[in-house]
Structure 1
Amino acid sequence: MRKLFTGLAALLMLAIVAQFFLAAVGAFDSAPTEEAFAPHRLLGYSMLVLAVLTTIIGAVARMPGQLIGRAGLVVGLVIVQVLIREIAKAIGDGSTAGPLVFGLHALNALFIMGVAESVLRRSRQTWEPAKTGRLVS
């Protein structure tokens, strides 16, 4: 189960990298904004499901509590991404505040990437044999 958790953490990290790519593609697409960002949005919602699954598998696999908590933090941060988008959309394009609030979307994405990377790195350490031959927990 620990290797499954690590595999899901790696898949989540790959999805995050793909999100940055899809955001850039959407930003430079000539299609209308909603249409241009549809793949980015779809993968974002899929990442939410993947992050929840990763957290649940971590609990079932009895990963260290701090690691499960970090996986759960990714879930919360992905939800914050949606909230940032909705708040910026509600403020509207006609003001300076909307784009400034939406800028937090990119900063939060960097935070998501950092937390997800730490989950992946630390999860590998839990099942790799230590020098003593025991599993690290």
Structure 2
Amino acid sequence: MRRVFAGLATLLVLVIVVQFFLAASAAFDTAPKDESFQPHRSLGYVIFLFAVVLTIVAALARMPGRLIGMTGLVAGLTVGQVVIRELAKAFDGTGDTSTTAGQVVFGLHAVNALIILAVAGTVAWRSRALPGSAVTGRPAGAARVSGPAQPTS
């Protein structure tokens, strides 16, 4: 189950990277903003659901509490993305984020996205470092030796 979690956590990081790509490609699209950012917005909701499911998987796999919390933090920060977007709209008043106050608040959207990527990357990295979740680098069948080193003859 830990290997499944590690694989899903890595997949989450890749999906978040795709999210950055969709945001960048939409920013340079000539189509109207609502139309060009629709794939980015849709994938954001998928990331939220994926993070919630991954948190449940982490709990079922009996991952360390800190790892479960960090996985839940990804879901919480994703909700924060929607809150930031709505706050930016409120500062503008027209629903467009073209005013200075709206732009400053909406800039937090990108900063929060970087935090999401960092937390998800940390979850993936730590989950792969756990015993039983990845290859340890020892040859197959090698016994784990503990205690003082044995002298060689």
Structure 1 unpaired stretches of 5+: none
The residue that corresponds to 2:103 in the other structure is: 99
Compute the displacement of 1:84 (Å): 0.4
Distance 1:11 1:94 in 2: 34
Compute the displacement of 1:89 (Å): 1.4
Deviation string for 1:67-108 (max 9, x for gaps)? 001001101100001110111112224631101000000000
The residue that corresponds to 2:151 in the other structure is: none
The DSSP-based 3-state class of the residue aligned with 1:62 is coil
What is the RMSD computed on CA atoms of the aligned residues?
Answer: 1.5
Compute the displacement of 1:3 (Å): 1.2
Structure 2 unpaired stretches of 5+: 145-153
Richer in helix (by share) = 1
**Corresponding position: 1:111 with 2:131:** no
Within 5 Å, give how 1:1-137 maps onto structure 2. Answer: 1-92=1-92, 93=97, 95-126=99-130, 127-128=133-134, 133=144
Distance 1:97 1:23 in 2: 21
Percent of residue pairs identical: 56
Distance 1:32 1:91 in 2: 21
> Structure 1 length normalisation: TM-score?
0.92
State the 4+ residue runs in structure 1 displaced beyond 4 angstroms: 129-133
Name the CA shift for 1:60/1:76 in 2 (closer, same or farther; >3 Å).
same
Greater Rg over alpha carbons, structure: 2
Aligned length: 133
> Structure 2 length normalisation: TM-score?
0.82
